Amino acid sequence: MAAKASSRGVFIRETIEVARRYGFDGVDLDWEFPQNPKQMGDFGFLLKEWSHAIQMEAKITKGLLYCSLSLCTTRRIS
């Protein structure tokens, strides 16, 4: 999902929509075991784009969503 900008966009829009619909304060993102540096980079793009989207959305709703995240890797990625 994170490898393509279009898929990231859909994910971001839908997480914001679900959070607002059900009255959540935010979203918890959990990516376990990225396999390579590209996946780590894609995760970075996802976080940057999600952060931008929630900031823009907050200007309309007057309420900022929160994001907690975790990343787990079993080995060092160089």
Per-residue exposure over 17-48, b if at least 16 CB sit within 10 Å of its own CB, e if not: eebeeeeeeebebebeebeeeebeebbeebbe
Question: Amino acid identity of 59?
Answer: K
pLDDT score of 70: 67
- The catalytic position among 14, 32, 49, 57 is 32
Look at the alpha carbons of 32, 38, 40, 44 in this order and tell me if their dihedral is positive or negative.
negative
pLDDT score of 75: 60
CB atoms within 10 A of CB 2: 20
Residue 32 is a catalytic residue: yes
Q: CA-to-CA distance for 23 and 17, rounded, in angstroms?
A: 10
pLDDT score of 71: 62
pTM, rounded to two decimals: 0.79
Domain spans in the chain, listed from the N-terminal domain onward? 5-72
pLDDT digits (tens, 9 = 90+) for 20-71: 999 999 888 887 777 888 998 998 899 899 999 989 999 998 788 887 766 6
Higher confidence at residue 75 or residue 22? 22
